[in-house]
Each structure stands twice: as structure tokens, then as C-alpha cells.
Structure 1
Amino acid sequence: MIFNRQQQCLLLDGKEYTSEDIRQLIAGGAEAHSPAYWDLYLFLNEWFNDSPVITVHTSGSTGTPKELMVRKDRMMQSARLTCEFLNLKKGESALLCMNLRYIGAMMVVVRSLVAGLNLLVRPASGHPMADIKESLRFVAMVPLQVYNTLQVPEEKERLKQTDILIIGGGAVDEALETEIKHLPTAVYSTYGMTETLSHIALRRLNGASASEHYYPFPSVKLSLSAENTLVIDAPLVCDETLQTNDIARIYPDGSFMILGRKDNVINSGGIKIQAEELEKLLRPFIPVPFVITSVPDPRLGQAVTLLIVGQLDTREIENKLQTTLEPYYRPKHIFITESIPQTENGKIDRVGCRALAASYLSHSHQFPSIELHDDAIM
């Protein structure tokens, strides 16, 4: 592996590009290149400059998106951890199909630079395998890209010919995980964030080693805060111990599970409800996109609220809620919406969901909704 940026070159579509080659491509202007390749050249130009840091954007899934300055040497250490774990070797193919504004896509490129992978480039789209002809060693996607790929037989077949797939940028729901179990590809869900320079733990989704637990890299030490949120000590990629907002459970073998985010705890009448856990309970009988959020309530403080896409029989859903959930878990409001708010890179926008639910509540006479009776709550 090569960690000296002055000695690195990128193997792109089978051809090596040095930092000088990239500068010449940039000098030729954007008009001569497709947007996906131009974005790559801009990133490489910044990677090869003299600055030891680079700007990365957070997704804004739980708050306002922000810019972070991260160290390039730390990014290379993160790349090494992943390449060693997955046994990625020089000359093997990797696909870049995500937005280079975010750390997940950047790290695909950095892994290629460090390990000498042959990088193939496709636009960040919902169907990244649409025109892939080569068998791939390594692909990184967000859950929506994987879901879309599995719906198209030709694209699914190309994915089946891929050796390793990692999925990041959002949770893999149970329905998608069930489909993944039948793939011959080695598929992993990743755990990490912008601050950890992509992932610090992986969870195998299929095959003999499939697990519900994430397993951290050997150099990563984990603990829990007083609020049961995950604390990460990853000295190779983070200068400081990272206090997350992810409520977790750590097991004796060092593995862990994420139960949800502290931000997404709904305090309803003194009962603390984890939005993600409630969504997991509801998925088996809600066949369309939905999200659990909350709205202010004068009696409860926060009222559990269900945002659901499409014209479904909401009375049938209400009956399911009555028979499936404990009283304090049942949504007080159900609002029908055209779409679930998402961030730019496809994650659920939890802040946007709360704002949307609040607007529906304040104009409830204008929107399709159900307000459940008090005896359905407590």
C-alpha cells in the first residue's frame, strides 16, 4: 500500500494517472469530461495539493449539514483498515457510484489510491449497475441504490457477479436484508460517520458469518456513555474520543448493536420511545415508505406520529396498531404524505419529518389524517 501522496497514482479504467496528469485534465476544462469524471478530477486535484486536510460535508440527516476539515493521513489509515479487512489487492476493480461531496465516495477513491485498485466511475444515480459490463471486486452503495438494483433482473445479475458489496449511508431495513441473504456476493452493512472517515465497523448480512452485530476494526475501542450512547476511540482515524448520539448495546465479544439515535427518542407522557425500534415493529405490515416522528402535545409533551406515503386503508393500519403495539407505543396521529423528507444523499431527514408532521398538525383540516383516540395512547 502507498501512503505517500506524492508517490500515489490512480488506476482509472485500467490507465494510471499521476497528479500531473490530473492537473492537465483540470486545465482542459469541464466541457471535455462527463460530470462524474470531472467531479473525480476535482477531488483528486484537491487530494494531491500541499494541504494536509480536505473539506468533507456531513449529510444533515439529524441536523444542519456542516463542513468538516479532515486529515488526509487519517483517511489513508481508514482506507488501509478496510482494504486489509476485505483483502482488497492491487489491480482489483472498484466502482465509484456515489456523490463525491460525502466521505463514503471519497473513501472509495482513497482506497483505490492506497491499495492500487482499478477504479471504474459511474454517475451517482439510483441504478449504478445499469451499464456495468465488467465483473467487479468491490462496490460501495447506499441502501436505495441496492434496493433499485435488485428490482431490475439484469442489474441484479451484475451485482451477483460482484465479489464484495458494502452498504453505508443509512440503515438496511429487514425487507432489503432478506433479499440480500440470497446473493452470492459478500455483503456488509457499515457503521460509521463523517467524523470517523467512513466506517469503523462492519456487519455481514449474508452467508455463514451473517450477524445482527457490528464488529469493529481491531484498533477501535468502544464503550457506552451514561445515556447508553456509543463512545468511539479510534486513534488511527480520529484525534479525539468521539461521543455519538447512537444508543447501543455492546456484547462481551466486542461486537455491538445500534438501537437508534438519542435525537430520535420520543418522550411521550414520560415514556421514552425509540423511533427506529418502533419503525422496525411496523415494517411487517406497512408495505410503503413511512417514518415515525413526533409533534408537540400539551398533555404528553411529544405525541408519536406516523408519516406514511400513498393511499392506503388507514383504518386497517389503525386496527393493526391497536393489536400489535402496546398502548404507549401507538401513534396519536397518522398523516398521509406524498414523500418522506430525505437529505441530499438519501437518508431520512428526521428534522424535516418533525417539521412536516407539525405543519400537517397545524393544518389538519387540509390534509388526510387520522387522530387516534386517547384510549389508544395510554
Structure 2
Amino acid sequence: MTAYNTNIKEQSAQIEGITYNLCEIEMIRMNIPADNHSFRQELFTFLSEWFDRSNSVLVHTSGSTGTPKPMWVEKECMMESACLTCSFLHLQKDDTALLCMPLQYIAGKMVVVRSLVAGLNLLPVTPSGHPLKDLKEAPVFAAMIPMQVYNSLQVPEEKELLKQIKHLIIGGGAIDSALAKALKDFPNDIWSTYGMTETLSHIALRKVNGEEASEWYTPFDSVEIRLSREGTLVINAPKVCDKELVTNDIAELNEKGQFRILGRKDNTINSGGVKIQIEQVEAALKEHLTTPFLTTSIPDPKFGEIIVLLIEIGGRHETYEEIQKICEEVLPPYWRPKQIIPLEQLPLTETGKPDRATAKRLAEE
């Protein structure tokens, strides 16, 4: 088993093949102009915070269901999480690791921490929808959100690099059936991750491609899971979180100790006494709709709540009438949207997730 370095005083950062110690990191950070808001500046600022005397660092939640919240997390717990991932994926010293996530969120910070504990060679790329566009060679390890993977598949050169990534983990949002189908024959391992800011990135993974592809997540060995009375997932991950965490994710467990996510509790719509899960409605429609859309609800005097479909106008997609027809053909009567609302642009968070709170507000307005 590979030994990982969890002594911050003995760590160094390897970036694009160059190793930096604390003094060099501080010198570079101080010499970058204050008005320079480049991604490289953000990286060296975080590294400076990592090597300071504080035991914790500040992160922000993604804000997919509300306003992003600041959170202080322990460096020791971040390193424990990093070791779990590096060990699971068998990452080795000097393996290249692509950093293409914003550094204010846990996902980006954890890529850096993994590089520090495992001695990985960090390749920083300014976060964008096409993180592979300027690369000549594929990294050994990469963490991306579904949107970045989808965009990379649309460009032949980027798709080829994506295929060559030895260990690709995808998080920050659900992988729909179309994306999973596009990745199923890729030669190297692709994993969907489950986690959140509070668990310091992921605590479970599931295989997306190959013969072992599954919709069931396997928790790390040190993680225990169960269901609450409301059917939501409860996580006990003592290495990364000092208390049991009751999530909002409605889940199902199997006899192997694995779980799959059915949707979020706050995405459950009670329409006329029938409980409907937004994610299940969206999964059914994604098989048939090319028009970008989100599902939400608005109050209704008769049904309590009704389902509303927000669609993004523009481009060569289905007409309003075609969307209505598709809904009638593929959805049960009680799942069908009672209203279809066109928008110039669907609300998304900075990390590319559906902004459910804004979607609901827009529908109500």
C-alpha cells in the first residue's frame, strides 16, 4: 500500500513539474499583483493558507438548493479524505492531476490536497466548460463536473484526451443516461462520486463504464450508512466528519451495503396527495428532449403544488407543442407539467448544478 504524507510541515507542492516549498510559495504569492485575479493566483493563495499555522481552511457550499454558505473545515480531515481517494484509485507519486475546479469550493481544494499528500504533479487549468482544450497530453487523474465531461465529448481532440485519462472522477451533479451511454465504452476507469461539502468531497463511488458499471454507490471502508425515518441517507464517516450527517437525499440500500440516490427530499413535490420526485421526472424526459429544461413546482389551490417545466429558448430544439406531446407520451398523468415556462437561460450555480431555489422563484413569479 502506498504511504501518503499527512505531515503538512513535510509537504511540498509540485506544479507543472516544478516543486515549491513554503518559502517559494509565499514569495510567488506576494509578487503577484493584488489586482491579478488569475487562477494561478488563487492556487498560490490557497497553498499559502494550507501551509499557515491554522488547523482549518474556509470553503463554501455549492448553493444548489439555496445561498452558498461559508464553512471552516479541518485540514487533518481533508487529508484523511484525500488519502481515501488516492488509495482507492491507486494514485502514485508524480502522477499528473488536472485541477480544473474553482478553488472556493471543496472539490477544487481537495484536488490540491490529494496532490500534496500523494506527491502528485498538479496541472492547473482555469475552470471552464472545456478544461482539456489547451492540453497536449492527458493527465493520469482528473476530477470534473458532468458539464465539463459533456462539453469535452463534443470536440474530437478533447474527447480523445478524455479517453486517455487513466482515473476520471465525475461529481457535483447527476450523470444522466445519455452521458453514461457516451462513456460506457471508454477504456479507462470512470467513477461517479457521492459526497458534499460536509463530507469533504466524496465518501462513495460507483463505476460508470465497463462491465462493472452500476447505479449503486459503494462507500469507503471507513464509512457507515443507513436510512432515516424519512428515507434519507444518513452518513457516519468518522475520518472526515466528527458527527453523523443526515442528508436530504432520498436513498435505497441493498444487501451489499451499497446505496443509490432517488432524489432530494426538498425536490419532492406533493401534488394532489401524490409524491413526485423531480429527479425522476427529469430522468424520464432527458431520454426524449433535446431542449435544455428544469423541473420545479408552484403552489396551487386545488392540488397544493403543481409541476412546472422551465425550458431554455433559442437554438434548434423542440417546439412548445412537441414538448407537450413528449410529456404526454412518456410521463404518467400525475408527473406531467401543468405549465411550461420559457426562459432565456436556465438558472445554474457556479459549479454548473441546477439552481433549484432560483428556478422555483422564477416559476412563482
Aligned residue number for residue 74 of structure 2:
71
- The letter for the 2-side match of 1:15 is I
| 2:225 maps to which of 216, 222, 228 | 222
CA distance in 1 between counterparts of 2:164 and 2:217 reads 25
Q: Confirm whether residue 353 of structure 1 aligns to residue 356 of structure 2.
A: no
Aligned residues: 359
Secondary structure of the 1:30 match is coil
2:335 equivalent to 1:329: yes
1:369 match: none
Does residue 93 (structure 1) correspond to residue 99 (structure 2)? The answer is no
For structure 2, the residue ranges without an aligned partner over 5 or more in a row are none
**Equivalent in the alignment of 2:247:** 244
CA deviation profile, 1:153-197 (whole Å, cap 9, x unmatched): 011111112111101111111111111112223111100000000
Shift of 1:321: 2.1
Q: Deviations over 1:340-360 (max 9, x none)?
A: 10111111000111011112x
Secondary structure of 1:245's counterpart equals strand
State the TM-score, normalized to the length of structure 1. Answer: 0.93
1:283-298 aligned at under 5 Å gives the runs: 283-298=286-301
Identical positions, percent: 53
User: Offset at 1:33?
Assistant: 7.4
**What amino acid is the match of 2:359?**
C
Name the SS of the counterpart of 2:284 in structure 1: helix
Greater alpha carbon shift after TM alignment, 112-121 vs 172-181: 172-181
Look up the equivalent residue of 1:344 and give its one-letter code. Answer: E
Extract structure 1 runs of 4+ deviating beyond 3 A: 30-34
Q: SS of the residue aligned with 2:233?
A: strand
| Aligned residue number for residue 315 of structure 1 | 321
Question: How far does the alpha carbon of each residue in 1:324-378 deviate from its partner, in whole angstroms, 9 at most, with x for none?
Answer: 222211111111212210111111000111011112xxxxxxxxxxxxxxxxxxx
Q: Report the 3-state secondary structure (helix = DSSP H, G, I; strand = E; otherwise coil) of the residue aligned with 2:287.
A: helix
Alignment of structure 1 residues 1-378 onto 2, 5 Å: 1-30=4-33, 35-310=38-313, 312-359=318-365
**Whole-angstrom CA distance in 2 between matches of 1:185 and 1:77:** 26
Deviation at 1:253, TM superposition (A): 0.1
Instruction: Note if contact 1:295-1:302 (Cα within 8 Å) is conserved in structure 2.
Output: yes
Residues 53-93 of structure 1, C-alpha deviations (whole Å, 9 max, x = no match): 11000011011210000000000000000000000011111
Alignment gaps of 5+ in structure 1: 360-378
* Per-residue Cα deviation, 1:107-138 (whole angstroms, up to 9, x for no partner): 00000000000111110011110111223110
Give the Cα–Cα distance (whole angstroms) in 2 for the partners of residues 250 and 297 of structure 1: 34
1:159/1:185 contact within 8 Å kept: no
Deviations 1:264-316 (A, max 9, x none): 00111111100001111111111121111001111111111111122632222
Tell me the SS of whatever aligns to 1:285: coil
